Every structure is written in C-alpha cells, then in structure tokens.
Structure 1
Amino acid sequence: MDALILQTAASGAPVTAVAGTFALFALFLSLTAHIAARNVLGDVEVKKAFAVGPVPAAIAVVFTTFQWNSFLALGLALGFDFGFIKFLYGRSNRLSAYIVGIHFVVSVLLGTVLFGLVVILLSAPA
C-alpha cells in the first residue's frame, strides 16, 4: 500500500493515479503484443493487440495494489495472454506460446530501455 500512499500524496486522487497507471501499462502491453504478433505472423490487425494488452495490465495492477504474490501474477498474466492470443489469432498452441514468449521478451526489453531513458532524463541537471 506504500505505492498507493505515494501516488495519493503526489496527485491527490488515488483512483486517478491507479487508472492512469493501468491505462498506460495496458497501452504499452498492447503495443508490445502487436510487435510480437507482427514479428511471428507478419501483417496482423492492430485492434487484436488492443484486446490482449489490458488483461495482463489489470492483473498487474490488482496484484500490486493488494501486495499479492508477484510470481502468481506473472503466471496468471502469461496464461491469460496465451488464451487471448490463441483465441484472437486462431493459431496452434505451439505458435501461440511462441508469440507469448516473444511478447514477454519484447515487453521486458522495451520496458527496460524506456525506464532507463526516463531515469536518465529525470536525473539530468537543470
């Protein structure tokens, strides 16, 4: 709950802070899902990725808010990611698992780079 308290102090409204965090994370995961699907399948519709991204983001926000086990959250998010990708793109289990693996790797790499850029920019002298 410390993160929620810090967000409340910074913005004044915890609901707005949590909703903004969820929306940005869902958009980020939708972008990385689209990158992963394009990498594996070629030309795919963007709207399918927008259906994939919010589910893992919601799981992450809920598990973080209530300080539940993060490994359980990761497993659950990957499971739902697999289910949505299999359903939306209509591929085999093996190919869907491959797309989920690429989605995970792209999310970690792009997230690390973006977070590093934000830290560098915020720590620059004025």
Structure 2
Amino acid sequence: MALSSPIVLQAASTLAIIGTVGLFAVFLSTTAHIAARNVLGDVSVIKAFGVGPIPAVISVVAQALGVPAVVSLPLAIVADGAAINYFYGESRRITAYITVIHIVVTIIIGTVLFGILTIAMTAPGG
C-alpha cells in the first residue's frame, strides 16, 4: 500500500468487532493468568483481566488498519509487558519472564485450539 493510498477498512458489523476483541481479550487474559501463576504462584485472576484486553485491542486495530505484523506484534508485546508490570507490580526481570511465559503459553494453547477447530471443521459427515 502506498503512503498516499486511503486507508480502507473491512466492512464488519460493530457486534462482530466487539465480539472478536472480547473473545481475544478473554483468551489473552486466561493465558496471562496461567503465565502469572506459573511464575508467581497463587495470584488473583482479576489482574489477568486487566492485562488481556490491551494486546487484544492493539492486535485487532492493527489488523483492521492493515498495519504489518512486524510493527504490531512488537507493539502488542511491549504493551503486554507494560500491563503485566502495572497490574502485578513486579521487577522488570520478573515482568519480562512473565511476558515471555505469556507469549509461549498463548502460542501453545492457540495452536492446540486452532488444530482442534481445523479438525472439527474438516471432519467428514459434519
């Protein structure tokens, strides 16, 4: 896309956008809680629900605006780390560790769920 090209958004209903952001935020909150429990032990799930929506909104908005993943992914990861630091109040080292674990857990669980969905959608007789 040239710099002088107008930004064209995909036509989608408001409900579809809110649903996408909401489901992605719940997924990222769940994986953030798993990561924080892995590192810190017993932590409040409420803190994770503050972490999840931030990278979810960044990801969906970046996708809607056509921002390349090479730009939006580091931005979402930095925002995720900042949210983890804010909500859990740990040192930078522990925050970085939780953020890395969050990325790993998100990739693993996301891959498994995508695989299950793919198998279910391609199953014969369905």
TM-score with structure 1 length normalisation? Answer: 0.89
The structure that is helix-richer by fraction is: 1
Partner Cα distance (1:88, 1:58) in 2: 17
C-alpha contact (below 8 Å) 2:26/2:53 kept by paired residues: yes
Q: How high is the sequence identity, in percent, across the aligned residues?
A: 50
1:52 aligns to what?
A: 51
How do 1:1-126 and structure 2 match up within 5 A? 4-5=10-11, 8=12, 14-126=13-125
Counterpart residue number, 1:11: none
**Cα pair distance change 1:102/1:3, threshold 3 Å:** farther
CA positional deviation for 1:90: 1.1
- Regions of 4+ moved over 3 Å: 1-5
Q: TM-score, normalising length from structure 2?
A: 0.89
Distance 2:22 2:63 in 1: 15
Matched residue, 2:4: none
1:120 corresponds to which letter in structure 2? I
Displacement of 1:75: 0.8
Aligned length: 119
Deviations for 1:65-92, whole angstroms, at most 9, x for unmatched residues?
0111212111111111111111111111
Listed as ranges, the gaps of 5+ residues in structure 2 are 1-6
2:3 corresponds to which residue? Answer: none
Q: Unpaired runs of 5+ in structure 1? A: 9-13
Distance 1:105 1:59, change over 3 A: same
How far has the Cα of 1:3 moved from its partner? Answer: 9.3
Please state whether the residue corresponding to 2:123 is helix, strand or coil: coil
